[in-house]
Chain A
């Protein structure tokens, strides 16, 4: 673990211009092992967007349907205004949850800036609610995550709040399978949420035996009534379908650096799954 025993853990919450991040702070707190984690909010002003504003040819189509030139000065003002609002919202939620907190504003790429600041953090939460297809591609993501990163990385298109269902993928091939189950169990217990294990079972295995084993593991982690669903395949489509079936709002995936496992399907899962994705790295 990145945190030393007895020291408060660090949770990094990365926000882009489209998000204010209230919905992910609760999740970050639930994931932190320490009862008094420090939360670092990082507001990333997209360098890509700013680069567009530098182009005389760039056009902005507003949500009202109007069209205008993408002026650099105006964009700067808008970003400053958004950062201020994001800071206010972040600080209000952190204060309500009783969390120590800091807030930084930086400029660059959301993922790389997040990872850069999350070197010693226990949890990295990246708010991607408005991530336009292509911007947060799996390729880019995996490239960034291959670098040293926190044990838990959450990619949140939507938030998660206590009481909402949690699903975890059981992947015996992954070295972080146990860690993923444990992280999912911790969140479920914290939020008093239903927990469902999605268990792919190959053709020659005894399905019942596997399912019972998974249920026993979760029970051992303190989950009162764990549910277990058998998957025929471990691809993004099957995982997405099963997650929806159990109304999960948080999907936990084992995804170690050496064996990305289904993380190769993260990009597609992000499109298919309407909640938050949590990648367990260590």
Chain B
């Protein structure tokens, strides 16, 4: 039964049906979600979708996108689905290959080919190498090659022999002996074919000795000329052998290479490549010799075949793709974005080649779309700079972090940069977007399109229907039980409660979907075939139960009077304020005692929270506003001569926000007017300089927070909460609160002003100014005005006495 409450206020407590906006299951038009079709509908994001559409269609450089929105708002799903729909039917982008650069193998060349042709090129070159491994050894084993080499060698040996014979002949004619030594040749004078002894030589006539010495000199000179010719002859021999190889190998490989080249006549860079490949094959023909086991004789790096230089590194393969790529990179490190060059250790050194170039997300998405999480890119060292460089420069250049920071001196590759033509879609929270806009000048140049996702949508009939369809799709996609329409209705109500707004629905479907998943669990525990409203309720209650330990502890402290909160009786200058605490994802309301004290002073109102640096700037602003309200409302013709202080009792943490400013104003008025305040009521709401009550956040949690304390102590029917009237639209209160209101055990008062609040709290009319500028006698305002004048007079007398004492020289 409703209990009569004693008030002198015109404010009527809200009826129960204003405390919760139900979703009528009968309006949903289905029994269970099984009847609904799967849909990928996007609810209420028309602004963001239009921005996406614009950003995707504008081809100019810099028109990349930043998607703003809160986590859990399905941004990734919506963006991916949108891009997939746009990429379908679009032409597949080019394949990209890296090939060895025969002029400088540290700088591999990048080749662009139509989709699918890269794979063909790779196969063609693999087949070519196989064919060359058959053809080239055959050349070396051929009779033509053997006889050619023998002929060249014999020609060389003939030259050497002929030269030696000539020398021998000259030596004989000059009566000299010529013999080989381990390191060259030796000559000595002879006579009749025998060496002349030193003694015999000394006995020769002087002119003969001189002639012999000159002959020796001449012979030495001849020998030196012969020796000097040897390197030239050897070089000639090598050149001839090389020329023979070129002729024979060239003949053998030309036909094979031409067969491959024919298929790529319309790619000038490939034609050039094939020309250089031919030269390289001829130069290094010995690499194609087998060791007998089929393996090439010449080893390559890391044990790989030296023939790998003729491979194709198919960096990006779009064979079979019929649309532009949509790539999401969830680990956007610099290597994962730009690609990287791998190394292998060989004999203690790190080595690499062009086949060890790996693609990055930019390569894979080139010609399409790349989705990245903004905060992850920013957290990865150097990744943000690298991404901007790639977008600004229009090319993807593989750079390692070690190289960029000059930490690595290992010889690596400098692959030719690949031109980029893609859209990057960054997804992030709003503050990231705003920070980048403010502090990174390049950001605005590169991400010109912002797609701002709504956090809330109207709770319209159409949106409710689409919400139901989405819940159906989630249930079906995740293999959950179908939801009854009552369950859907309860879930939609929960979607409104999450926002704290009865007229809106949250777009943060992650939280809503979590409730459905957990409800599915509870339904499964009961072997139910559908998820009903009771399961949704159970899931919500269980979530709260799991997270509400601290709330329980705080309520227990109030119950045990460790924290002092009165819920009955009256007190002067003491009021119940309400605050909201958020711990993790759980928010709950908590009553706080606010007290005020006054005395004669200079008009200063001390905010103790601020003085102790526990109050935040918004709270301080609220206190200053109420000070201003006081000055402008009462005894405006005399100086304000009161000194007051306000404090949140037993508050040991920070206080922020202005939602207690009505409560603080009322506590101050109570203190000045010396009128007691009902402790069965709690107040929330902010006030402006005119005394108007303004909307605050967390109204549902605040009401429930005071209700829980009252309920623990026993509902008296006198208890309730004062809220700004504009907060009524946000009410989505708990069922037990509504039941208490229905039974007249608890009340929610919508107030428009401080006057309405103080009337309810004191039971005394607030009083309006009459034409003469006076408040009605006995009203709250009249008492406040009178007391302030009294305090002013007290102060004036005090000051006069002081001056008189001063004049007397006391």
Contacts and interface: CB of A to CB of B under 8 A. Distances in A.
B154 A130 contact: no
B180 A52 contact: no
Contacts of B181: 17, 49, 60, 70, 75, 78
Interface stretch (B219-227, B433-441, B510-518, B655-663): B219-227
A23 to B, nearest CB: 14
A1 interface: no
B177 A52 contact: yes
B234 to A, nearest CB: 12
Contacts of A51: 195
B186 A70 contact: yes
B168 A57 contact: no
Contact of A132 (B178, B188, B189, B197): B178
A165 to B, nearest CB: 9
A200 B230 CA distance: 38
A187 B188 CA distance: 43
B165 interface: yes
Interface in A19-61: 46, 48-49, 51-53, 55-61
A79 B181 CA distance: 9
Interface string A238-267: 000000100100000000000000000000
A59 B188 contact: yes
B198 A56 contact: yes
Nearest to A17: B182
Contact of A58 (B154, B168, B187): B187
Interface string B157-177: 100010011001000100001
Contacts of B154: 244, 274
B150 interface: yes
B195 A52 contact: yes
A89 B134 CA distance: 35
B393 interface: no
B179 to A, nearest CB: 5
Contact of A65 (B161, B189, B216, B224): B224
A196 to B, nearest CB: 13
B73 interface: no
Nearest to B224: A65
Nearest to B178: A132
Contact of A18 (B164, B182, B230): B182
Contacts of A62: 183-184
Given A244-B150, A274-B157, A61 B184 contact: yes
A133 B168 contact: yes
B189 to A, nearest CB: 6
A53 B180 CA distance: 12
A111 to B, nearest CB: 15
B527 interface: no
A57 B161 contact: no
B153 A274 contact: yes
A271 interface: yes
B195 A55 contact: yes
Q: Which of B181, B183, B188, B227 has the most CB of A within 10 A?
A: B181
A146 B645 CA distance: 139
Contacts of B189: 55, 57
A67 interface: yes
Given A55-B196, A55-B197, A244-B154, A134 B185 contact: no
Given A70-B181, A134-B168, A271 B187 contact: no
A48 B165 contact: no
Contacts of A70: 181, 186, 188
Contacts of B177: 52
Nearest to A165: B146
A62 B143 CA distance: 38
B228 interface: yes
Given A61-B224, A62-B184, A132-B164, A247 B201 contact: no
A63 interface: yes
A246 B216 CA distance: 43
A48 B178 CA distance: 10
Interface in A112-152: 130, 132-135
Nearest to B198: A56
A82 interface: yes
A123 B311 CA distance: 53
A17 B228 CA distance: 23
Nearest to A274: B154
Interface string B190-229: 0000011110010000000000100010001001100110
B582 interface: no
B232 to A, nearest CB: 13
A132 B179 contact: yes
B186 A82 contact: no
B146 A135 contact: no
Contacts of B5: none
Nearest to B171: A134
Contacts of A79: 182
B179 A135 contact: yes
Given A17-B180, A60-B181, A49 B224 contact: no
A82 B201 CA distance: 32
Contacts of B525: none
A101 to B, nearest CB: 23
Given A52-B177, A247-B143, A63 B184 contact: yes
Nearest to A249: B150
A51 B165 CA distance: 22
B147 interface: yes
B196 to A, nearest CB: 7
A25 B457 CA distance: 97
A65 B164 contact: no
Given A55-B196, A59-B187, A65 B150 contact: no
A78 to B, nearest CB: 4
Interface in A72-103: 75, 78-79, 81-82
Contacts of B212: 57
B179 A49 contact: yes
B420 to A, nearest CB: 57
Contacts of B185: 60-61
A133 B165 contact: yes
Contacts of B186: 49, 52-53, 58-61, 70
Contacts of A81: 182
A49 B223 CA distance: 17
Contact of B182 (A55, A82, A133, A271): A82
B220 A78 contact: no
B179 A78 contact: no
A61 B198 contact: no
Interface string B219-260: 010011001101000000000000000000000000000000
Contacts of B150: 244, 247, 274
A61 B227 CA distance: 9
Nearest to A61: B223
A55 B197 CA distance: 6
A130 B180 contact: yes
B179 A52 contact: yes
Contacts of B223: 61
A65 B227 contact: yes
A82 B153 CA distance: 26
A133 B164 contact: yes
Contacts of A56: 198
Contacts of A61: 184-187, 220, 223-224, 227
A247 B182 contact: no
A242 to B, nearest CB: 13
A240 to B, nearest CB: 10
Interface of B: 143, 146-147, 150-151, 153-154, 157, 161, 164-165, 168, 172, 177-189, 195-198, 201, 212, 216, 220, 223-224, 227-228, 230
9 contacts: A49-B179, A55-B198, A57-B212, A60-B185, A61-B184, A61-B223, A65-B224, A244-B154, A247-B150
The 8 closest A-B pairs by CB, nearest first: A58-B188, A62-B184, A61-B223, A78-B182, A56-B198, A133-B165, A70-B186, A60-B186
Given A59-B220, A247-B146, A274-B153, 7 more contacts: A49-B180, A49-B186, A52-B188, A61-B227, A78-B183, A132-B164, A274-B154
